[in-house]
Amino acid sequence: MKKRTYIYKRFERFWHWMQVLLIGLLTLTGFEIHSSYNLFGYAEAVRLHDIAAWSFAVLIIFTIFWHFSVGAWKQYIPSTKLLKAQFEYYISGIFKGAPHPTKKTSYDKFNPLQRLTYLGFKVFIIPIQVISGFIYMFYGDLMIGSLEVMAYIHTLFAFGLIAFVIAHVYLISTSDEPIASLAAMITGWEEVDIDPKEEHRRHMQRAVDKSIAGYYRLDARGKFLDVNAAWLKMYKCVDLKNVVGKHYSFTRTEDDIQELNSIFKRVMGGETVIGIPVVRKCKDGSIGRHILSMNPTFQAGEIIGVEGFIIDIEDLDSMKRPMSYTIRNSNAGYYRLNKGGYYEELNDAWLKMYKCENKDNIMGKHYSMSRSKEDLVRLDEIFKQVTEIGETITSEVARRRCKDGSIGKHILSANPVYDGTEIIGMEGFILDISSLDEEKIAVDK
C-alpha cells in the first residue's frame, strides 16, 4: 500500500543539502590543499576550507539539537532485523527483480543497511573528520608536535567520504522511483509504502485522540487511568492530572452512582455495555447527559479494568427531555424494538409489568420472550404490519408472559420507528389491564 507522505521535514532537507554543499566544498578545497590539483588557488582554497569547516561545525550543533529535540535520532538505531535480507537483496535479489525486502515509511524511512551506514557516517566518519580537522586547524595552540598523524587520518577519511558519496548517489537508482526519491529530498513528499497495520493503529490512535466522543479507561478498582481531550471537555475538566487516579464516583450525583456501580460491576464480570444514556456530574457541579459504552480491558486473559466511550447527548436531549422523562417516569410501559424484533429500549414500568428486575436481562432479546406460544402469532402479525407496511396499531389487548411465567393482560400500542424514511423498528406503550379485568370479572359475577 502506497501513500503520498511527508517524510523529510524542512530542517532535515536543509541539513541534507547544506551537508552536500559543505562536504562538496570541503572535499574540493581539501584536495587542493593536498596538492591534488589547482583550482581556487592555495590561499583561497585554505580560506574557503576554513569557512566551510566553521559552517559545518555550526550545522552539526544545530543538527544534534534538532535530532534530540524531535527524537529523529531514533531512526538511526541499528536493527539487525532484515539486515541480512537487505544485504542479500542488494547482492542478488535486485538482479532478479525481487521486491525490496523492507518498506520505506514515514516513521521508518531507512532500511536496516541504511540505518547502519548513516549511523556509521554520523558517529564515525563525520566526527573523525571534524575532530581531526579542528585539531589540524589548531595544532599549534594544542601543542601537538606534528600534523602528520592528523593529516593522514583527515586525508584517508576524505577519500572515504568520496567513496561513500559515490555509493550513496548510486543507491538512489535502486529505488523503485529514483527521480521521485531524489525529488523527495527537495520537496519532502514521497509516495512511500505504508504498513496497513501501523497505519490503522495510527488512525485509531488519532481517532481516539481527536474524537468528539470522550474516551475513558478505568482500572480494576474503578480509578481513572486515562481519558481523552473530549472527555475532559465534557466533564469541564482542564487537566488530565485532576482525573487520573481518581475513582469514577466523582462523575455521578449520589442518586445516579448506583447505576454506574452496577454497570461497572457487570463489565468487570465480562459483559459489554453497548450504549446507555446516563447523567454525569461535571467538575463544576453541573449536570450533563451522555451515552456511555463500556467494555472490559484484558491483560493476559484477565480483566484488568474497563474502558469505553461517551457521546454527549445534551443537545439532543434538551429538546426531548420533558418527553423522555415522561416516558421514563410513566406508569405506561414503553418498549422499542429494532427491525430484527430485539428490544432496544424499555422503561421501568414495562419492566415492572413483566416482573423483571434488570433491564439488561431483556435488552437485546427477541420480543418472542414476551408471549406464550399461542399468543406469539398475533404479535408477529402486528410486528410485521408495523415494520413492513408502516401501520400503526392504536390499541390491542394482549396477554403477556412475565418473567416468572405468569400471564398478564395489557393494552398495547405500536408504531413504526423511522430513520429518515426507512423503518428501523417498532415502539409503543402498554397499559396494564389485569386489574381492570378482575374488576370486570367481579362485575360480571
Partner 1 sequence: MQNRKYRKIVSFILSLTAIVLPWLIILSIDKEIVENNASGEIEIINFQKDSLTNRVDHSQFEILQQEFTEASQVTEACISCHNERHHEVMSSSHWNWDRETVRANGDTVMFGKKDAINNFCISITSNTWKCTSCHAGYGWKDNTFDFGEAKNVDCIVCHDNTGSYKKDPLGSGMPLDKKIKSNGKVHFPVKLGYVAQNVGTPTVDNCGKCHFYGGGGDNVKHGDLSSDLYHADKNMDVHMDQAGNNMSCVDCHETNQHNMEGKVYSVSSANKDRMSCQKCHTDAPHVNNTLNKHTEKVACQTCHIPEYAKGVPTKMNWDWSTTGRLDENGEAILEKDSTGMVVYKSAKGSFEWATHVKPEYVWFNGKAEHYMAGDLIEDTTAVLQINTLLGEYNDADSKIIPVKVHRGKQIIDPVNKMLITPHVYGHDSTAYGEGFNWVWASAAGMKESNLPFSGEYSFISTEMYWPINHMVSPSGESLTCIECHSRDGLLANVDGFYMPGRDFSATVDILGILMVLLSLSGVAIHGLIRYIKKDCIACD
* Residues at the contact surface with partner 1, assessed by CB under 8 A: 10, 14, 33-35, 38, 41-43, 46-47, 50-51, 55, 90, 94-97, 140, 145-148, 151-152, 155-156, 158-160, 162-164, 166-167, 170, 173-174
Q: Kindly state the smallest distance separating residue 183's Cβ from partner 1, in Å.
A: 16
User: How far, in Å, CA of 351 to CA of 403, rounded?
Assistant: 9
Nearer to partner 1, 29 or 370 (CB): 29
What Cα–Cα distance (Å) separates residue 60 from each residue in 18, 135, 371? 11, 17, 80
Residue 173 DSSP class: T
Interatomic CA distance for residues 297 and 329, integer angstroms: 34
CA–CA dist 401, 409 (Å, integer):
9
Q: Which is nearer to partner 1, 157 or 350 (CB)?
A: 157
C-beta of 175: minimal distance to partner 1 in Å? 12
**Smallest distance from partner 1 to CB 123, Å:** 19
Specify the pairing of strand 333-338 against strand 422-432. Answer: antiparallel
Residue 99: CB minimum distance to partner 1, A = 13
Locate 143 and state its grid cell.
Answer: 601543542
Whether 189 and 5 have beta carbons less than 8 Å apart is answered as yes
Residue of 159, 73, 85 lying closest to 118 (CA atoms): 73
Please report how close the Cβ of residue 157 comes to partner 1 at its closest, in angstroms.
9
- Any alpha helices (H) in 126-245, and if so which ranges? 126-137, 148-172, 178-187, 196-210, 229-234
Shortest Å, Cβ 3 to partner 1: 22
Q: Which is nearer to partner 1, 118 or 164 (CB)?
A: 164
Residue 69 or 92: the one with the smaller Cβ distance to partner 1 is 92
Nearer to partner 1, 130 or 276 (CB): 130
For partner 1, the closer CB: 10 or 445: 10
Please answer whether residues 291 and 311 qualify as being in contact, where contact means their C-beta atoms are separated by less than 8 angstroms: yes
Q: Shortest approach of partner 1 to residue 95 CB, angstroms?
A: 4
Stated as kind and residue range, the H or E segment containing 321 is: helix 314-329
Gap between the Cα atoms of 165 and 80, Å rounded: 24
How far, in Å, are 185, 227, 284, 292 from residue 132 at the CA level? 30, 53, 65, 65
DSSP count for the chain of H helices, then E strands = 14, 12
State in angstroms the smallest separation of the CB of 330 from partner 1: 56
CB 129 within 8 A of CB 103: no
Beta carbon of residue 81, minimum distance to partner 1 (angstroms, whole number) = 24
Nearer of residues 95 and 300 to partner 1, judged by Cβ: 95
**Cα separation, 361 vs 52, whole angstroms:** 78
Nearer to partner 1, 80 or 146 (CB): 146
Nearer to partner 1, 98 or 369 (CB): 98
Three-class DSSP category at 247: strand
Cα–Cα distance measured from residue 196 to residue 200, given in angstroms and rounded to the nearest whole number: 6
